[in-house]
Structure 1
Amino acid sequence: MNKTLSPFLILLAAILWGTTGTTQAFAPEAAHPIAIGATRLAVGGVFLLLLIEGQLNLKHWSIRSTLLAALSMALYQPFFFSAVLMTGVAIGTVVAIGSAPILSGVIEWVFKRKHPTRVWWYATLTSIVGCLLLFMNQGSIDVDTLGIILAIGAGLTFAVFTVVSSDLVEKHSSLSVMAVVFTLSAIFLSPFLFIYDMSWIASFQGFSVSLYLGVAATGFAYLLFARGLVYVSSSTAVALSLAEPLTATLLGVFLLGESLHATSWKGMVLIIVGIGMLVVLARKSEHE
């Protein structure tokens, strides 16, 4: 794979993730967000396993790293959705998605001795400020302490998932790594399928939403993300993921008829500028 394409694969993955909110808006009212999260992981895991077609080789796999990546992805779902329910979409999203790049940079710094560059800090902070402005006038705001903790937990679990997955894709194919990780994540979240009402999935609407979220916004998206991780550092990859709220907002405006304040549009510009800096940084690092 061309190294130049790596940051763009991650951006495409983030764009696909950004469609989840709009897609969930079309889900049946009986569908609980956590139940949707569990379903999308299950469908995504099965989809990736089917792509492998019996070519999976588990020799020399790190069981510890695989379980850590799977558990992190599984925990991200209830952490994020619970945080949003407690604090509102604005605060929950900003804290969860905004904290992830910083936490991934710290994890790389402490455990992998990779010091984030000054440009990375400028680009990441620019994107985070943009994310803050983007959501400043959206949704209800309730600074719930537990909700904030859960949002940070969501950011931490996504950061851990990315750092650990980055190590795994250095030794195994991206497809194999994501298939195993998401299958295990789905198993970890399977109890939620019995806790919440799942009758909604039997309807055409519920089945269609689950299929899209599982195949496109999860299985295919994370496969692109994993392939991008081969040549892009985990801290940069997580920062590039800030394209997700940008995509979600644009879809809300053009498909759901939502309106934005001038402050939110300024935030979008800052996110685009920050992402542009990160792409340049990623492409520059490949030549060093």
Structure 2
Amino acid sequence: MGIDRNRLSPAFVLVAALFWGLAGGIGGVLMTDGWAPFVVSFYRGAIGLLFFLAWLAVSPRGSGLASGRLWLLSAIAGLGITGNFAFYFISIRESSVAVAATLMYCAPVFVYLASFALRLERPTATKWAAIALVMLGVGLLTRVYETGPDAVTLIGAVAGLLAGLSYAVFIFGLKYAAPHGSPQAILAIAFAVLAIILILPSDIEQTSAALSAPSWPLFAALGVLGAGFSFTLYIFGLKRIAPAVASIMAMVEPVTASLFGVVLLDESLTGGQILGIALILATVTALSVSSSARKPSSEVATF
């Protein structure tokens, strides 16, 4: 009796989002131990790259590696995922796992604003109201109305939003590269760009020391769960699942990250911050579901 992959697809997406949430917590633990954000980001991406190169070696057909457009668009996706990883961990260091993960979840808002500017999406009162609600949620989450020691720093807030913006660039790059090659080829190029870029600002001494440090199992878990395994599962899941469903399941990531920070890193959230998280998650998910519902079914299989 064969396995029904259609039934497994939602589980793939759910597990991928769960692993991304755990990756934020693992990164927070590593930075608490003194590891720099760029070093943590580099190992998350570099270990993921090994997965995608192995996937490409096992399944090279239809890679599209002879296409210059594939390389260009995949490199753009690589710039996006580089910024996403780096800004995310900087935001965690400067604020908390919960704040950083939720701010990054604002990525669809940046996609809408870019689509408005490029006339790819028609602005409506409902969309502007949703964006305003997200901005209100960001204000509550980052506690911009406070100046005390417990307030989120400007660097933490800006880095979290830049992580979301970078993720939007990554998604755009994946979407437009998809017709020109295989997922494994696109991800291999994108993560190779990440590894090359992030090795430059990384502390070389720390980067070398990580290979033999007691924290190495955490680095390995971060790369395997937070990049290689999760992105592979996500790609397989999206082939047989509606984007609207994937959008709802993606809420697992910030929720998991927030719980990790509160339970294992002793982070705390005020009532206002919890309200801000709820506003952002609910509104962004509604925006994503609404947008996905209007797309033709032929787009379901794209990234």
Q: Shorter-chain TM-score: what band?
A: 0.7 to 0.9
Q: Distance in 1 between matches of 2:8 and 2:112?
A: 22
Q: Secondary structure at the match of 2:206?
A: coil
- The corresponding residue for 2:184 is 175
- State yes or no: 1:142 paired with 2:153: yes
Indicate which of 164, 179, 194 corresponds to 2:173: 164
The more displaced of 40-49 and 160-169 is 160-169
The alpha-carbon deviation at position 54 of structure 1 amounts to 4.4
Specify the code of the residue in structure 2 equivalent to 1:142. Answer: T
Partners of 1:94 and 1:135 within 8 A in 2: no
- State yes or no: 1:202 paired with 2:212: yes
Q: Secondary structure at the match of 2:74?
A: helix
The TM-score, its normalising length taken from structure 1, stands at 0.74
The TM-score, its normalising length taken from structure 2, stands at 0.71
Indicate which of 87, 104, 119 corresponds to 1:97: 104
What CA deviation, in whole Å up to 9, does each residue of 1:154-195 have, x standing for no partner?
333221111111122244332332222112211222224553
Partners of 2:39 and 2:202 within 8 A in 1: yes
- The corresponding residue for 1:74 is 82
The more displaced of 253-262 and 177-186 is 253-262
Indicate which of 83, 91, 95 corresponds to 1:88: 95
The alpha-carbon deviation at position 44 of structure 1 amounts to 0.6
- State yes or no: 1:185 paired with 2:194: yes
The alpha-carbon deviation at position 214 of structure 1 amounts to 0.8
What CA deviation, in whole Å up to 9, does each residue of 1:65-99 have, x standing for no partner?
122111222233444444555x5348973895265
Q: Distance in 2 between matches of 1:15 and 1:130?
A: 23
What CA deviation, in whole Å up to 9, does each residue of 1:98-156 have, x standing for no partner?
65322212233444723467666666655564455455499543335xx7665554333
> Number of residues paired by the alignment?
282
Specify the code of the residue in structure 1 equivalent to 2:154. Answer: V
Specify the code of the residue in structure 2 equivalent to 1:105. Answer: Y
Partners of 1:65 and 1:168 within 8 A in 2: yes
Indicate which of 18, 23, 27 corresponds to 1:24: 27
| Structure 1 residue ranges without an equivalent (≥5) | none
Specify the code of the residue in structure 1 equivalent to 2:79. Answer: L
The more displaced of 259-268 and 134-143 is 134-143
- Residues 95 and 252 of structure 1, relative CA distance in 2, 3 Å threshold: closer
Specify the code of the residue in structure 2 equivalent to 1:141. Answer: V
Q: Distance in 1 between matches of 2:48 and 2:292?
A: 30
Q: Distance in 1 between matches of 2:264 and 2:172?
A: 34
- RMSD over aligned Cα atoms: 4.2
Indicate which of 100, 114, 120 corresponds to 1:113: 120
- State yes or no: 1:59 paired with 2:70: no
Q: Distance in 2 between matches of 1:162 and 1:283?
A: 14
| Structure 2 residue ranges without an equivalent (≥5) | 298-303
